[in-house]
């Protein structure tokens, strides 16, 4: 069996693929430099809890890397759909946090726009709205 890299062929697939690239890059950032990534994301682990950094490196980075790389390497519409829904639930969680946790800040508004874009690109491609 021969393995070939599935290069995006249409505008919609390029947008979905770009969302997968950003997801993978975030996963690599959290995997390789969790302390710096936490500072960029405005998170601060408790000094007495070193396992908090491990959570960022394992659970958060692991899911980002796994889903992003699968979408890039396999280029299947259902994987792009999973990627899009994951980012959509990320945006939904951010909205809930902004409404209930008092986190209505400019940073969260910008992050919400980014989350929604990363969700809409693969979903629009997976559902056939972008050729």
Distance CA 47, CA 12 (A): 44
Structure confidence by residue, pLDDT tens digits, 58-74: 989 999 999 999 999 99
Q: Is residue 23 packed enough to be buried (19+ CB in 10 Å), middle (13-18) or exposed (0-12)?
A: buried
Tokens of 117: 């874009």
| pTM summary value | 0.90
Q: What is the pLDDT of residues 3-34, one digit of tens each?
A: 677 889 999 999 999 999 999 999 999 999 99
């Amino acid at each position: 069996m021969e393995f070939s890299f599935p290069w995006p062929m249409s505008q919609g697939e390029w947008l979905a693929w770009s969302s997968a690239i950003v997801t993978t890059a975030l996963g690599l950032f959290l995997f390789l430099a969790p302390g710096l990534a936490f500072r960029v994301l405005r998170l601060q682990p408790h000094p007495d809890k070193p396992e908090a950094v491990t959570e960022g490196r394992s659970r958060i980075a692991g899911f980002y890397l796994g889903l992003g790389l699968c979408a890039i390497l396999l280029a299947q519409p259902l994987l792009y759909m999973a990627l899009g829904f994951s980012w959509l639930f990320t945006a939904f969680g951010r909205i809930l946090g902004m409404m209930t946790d008092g986190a209505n800040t400019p940073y969260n508004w910008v992050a919400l726009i980014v989350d929604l874009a990363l969700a809409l690109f693969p979903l629009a491609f997976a559902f056939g709205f972008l050729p």
